[in-house]
Structure 1
Amino acid sequence: MQWKNLFTPVANLSVAEARAFMDQRSTGDYELLDVRQPNEYQPTHIPGRRLIPLGELPARLGELDRRKPVIAYCAVGGRSKAAAQYLAGQGFSEVYNLAGGIKVWDGGKVGGALEAGLELLPVEAEFGDALQLAFAMEEGSQHFYQHLEAAAATDELRHLFNRLAGFEERHKARLASLFKEKEGRELDAALAAATVGIMEGGGRLADQVAALPGGPDQITAVLDFAMALETQAYDLYGRLVLHSKNESAKSLFIGLMDEERTHLGFLSRELEGLLSRR
């Protein structure tokens, strides 16, 4: 790393500024770069983002798209400032440092290894394979919400879970239509049925039901839990973007990330409305 690059001025973004920056753009239109070490990443990270430890950045510069804005973050902002300055010195035209790092980030966070869930899709998989996996994961999530709807103690909860299951049904219909358009045949529903236990985020349906906090009649706990699941899904789709070598599959997962972000917004508004009525 060239020392002169460490004196290149870069802009700092507050958490609010960074969130506004990302909310105004599609997920695929910017890079949020984690420059911490893998053992820092695994316990907690901002979902769906690229991990390149600061010490590896010069050798892995080619993994980043110079045409996209980059927001670098680390634990408290020191390493990410150095990373942002280095990138600016290497000709990246729009680079920012997340001031305060993940320590001050009050948005969604997830845990898990970088490789978690990637075994679901071989790196050389074709677009059709990616579509079938996405369909199966949407199917698993739909079954989860239908399970909660059946167990719900109030009409308010039943309506909420029915609406969430409907989101997944519409996604499945779009994926099935896209599969037929691209592959010239119907999507293999039998394969989806065989893998229905897989949910968005790569978790298993039975495990998620068993882990549900407070029971299905606790709406605040359930909303929190649903937001955690959607955040995990966003994170997995983001890592699949980086994992896949098929450009069409990458575009598919970027689109799914944007849809998960929409789901998170809906759940956040539902939770805020619930809390305001208390």
Structure 2
Amino acid sequence: MTEAYQDIDAERLRAYMARRQENEYLLVDVRQPDEYAKGHIPGSVLIPLGEVSERLRELPVDKDIVVYCRSGKRSRAAALFISSRPYVAGTIFNLTGGILAWDGHLLPAVPSIKVFDRAGDDRQVLLRAMDLERGAQRFYTALRQRYGAIAWAERLAELAGAEEGHARLIYGHWAEGQSDPPDFATVYQGLAGDIVEGGYSFSALVAMLEEQPQQPCRSTLEMALTIEYSAYDLSRNMAHRFQGQPMEAVFNTIAEAEKEHMQLVARALSLC
């Protein structure tokens, strides 16, 4: 009997994720919360296997869904269950070998969704998103000032500029529909930037920076890479929280931009 889902190995999954837009698929971790917190594939949302049946409404029927667990056994059961729904337009994939077979980047801890106040309206959520970009811009600027005009550190200046550009993108959504919104510079300069995208404290990151040696090319850029992966992870989880609402598309767009930032850092690592 032909299964209703498709198996996909880690190599094919990396290639699949690289060429897909963020609004085309959902990556689901069906392990337990403690397993997810120890390390998960960036961008994945947590829906433990035992909760899948009661949370089926969270799973889109018009997008591909990739499920994974530790070894591929639990996710196989999840894939069978999800694909048995009456109407499924997307393809259901099961990661063979699970996270044990995944040799890509892993993130510890749970995405810091708490940095967004869901009690506020969409404009407040977007303002907070701009604030996180402001925090990242401040941090990369501090890094650039610390290490000066050396090749790999020049890329940090590019990152700082990219974060401001990203904030401008979010500002466009924030200002939409307002009759006379303040200009971008006024809004951006008024933001505290005390939390860096991904949920890290700006002051804590600077303190970590002070403990680094004066020429820590690899360790500094790996820190930057983790920040960008965490920002991507947070954006993808926020998009899932806003599923079916206009803000879902906004956060998927933000996640797309974070992937570009990851590539910038990855290229900089070749200079170490």
Q: Same fold (TM over 0.5)?
A: yes
Query: Residue by residue, what CA displacement relative to the aligned partner does 1:191-211 show, whole Å, maximum 9, x if unpaired?
Result: 864531111001111111222
Question: For each residue in 1:189-237, what CA deviation from the matched residue of structure 2 results, as whole angstroms up to 9, or x when unmatched?
Answer: 5686453111100111111122247435211111111111101111111
1:108 aligns with 2:112: no
2:43 corresponding residue in structure 1 = 48
Residues 31 and 176 of structure 1, relative CA distance in 2, 3 Å threshold:
closer
1:153 & 1:266 partners in 2: Cα distance?
18
Structure 1 residue 248, shift from structure 2 partner: 2.6
Give the letter aligned to residue 224 of structure 2.
Answer: A
Of the structure 1 ranges 117-126 and 81-90, higher mean CA displacement relative to structure 2 is found in 117-126
Within 1, Cα distance between the matches of 2:30 and 2:150? 46
| 1:116-131 equivalences in 2 (<5 Å) | 117-131=112-126
* Partners of 1:33 and 1:52 within 8 A in 2: yes
SS for the counterpart of 1:182 is coil
Q: Quick one: distance in 2 between partners of 1:216 and 1:229?
A: 20
**Aligned with 1:186 (options 177, 182, 189):** 182
Cα pair distance change 1:171/1:235, threshold 3 Å:
same
User: How many Å separate the matches in 2 of 1:246 and 1:11?
Assistant: 26
Could you tell me how far 1:155 is from its partner in structure 2?
2.1
- TM-score with structure 2 setting the length: 0.89
| Letter matched to residue 95 of structure 2 | L
Alignment of 1:1-278 (within 5 A): 8-91=3-86, 92-93=88-89, 94-113=91-110, 117-184=112-179, 185-186=181-182, 189=186, 193=190, 195-212=192-209, 214-215=212-213, 217-244=215-242, 247-271=245-269, 273-274=270-271
Q: Structure 1 residues 69, 207: CA separation in 2 closer, same or farther (over 3 Å shift)?
A: same
Q: Scaled by the length of structure 1, what TM-score is found?
A: 0.87
RMSD: 2.4
CA shift at 1:63, angstroms? 0.9
Q: CA deviation at 1:32?
A: 0.7
Runs of 4+ in 1 over 6 A off after TM superposition: none
Distance 1:196 1:168 in 2: 12
Alignment CA distance shift 1:192-1:77 (3 Å): farther
Distance across 1 between alignment mates of 2:150 and 2:166 = 25
Q: Which runs of 5+ in 1 are unaligned?
A: none
| Matched residue SS, 2:247 | helix
Q: Which string of whole-angstrom CA distances, capped at 9 and with x for unpartnered residues, describes residues 70-116 of structure 1?
A: 11100011111111122222243511110111112122211223xx5
Tell which deviates more after alignment, 82-91 or 180-189: 180-189
Distance 1:175 1:191, change over 3 A: closer
Q: What is the distance in 2 between the residues matched to 1:229 and 1:247?
A: 27
The residue identity in structure 2 corresponding to 1:98 is: L
| CA drift at 1:8 | 3.4
The answer to whether the 8 A contact 2:27-2:65 is kept is yes
Structure 1, residues 29-61: CA drift from partner, whole Å, max 9, x if none?
101111111111111111222211111111111
Go from structure 1 to structure 2 and tell me whether the alpha carbon gap of 1:102 and 1:112 turns closer, same or farther (over 3 Å shift): same
Cα 1:215–1:28 shift into 2, 3 Å? farther
Number of residue pairs matched?
Answer: 267
- On the 8 A contact 1:124/1:245 being kept in 2, the answer is no
Percent identity over the alignment is 30
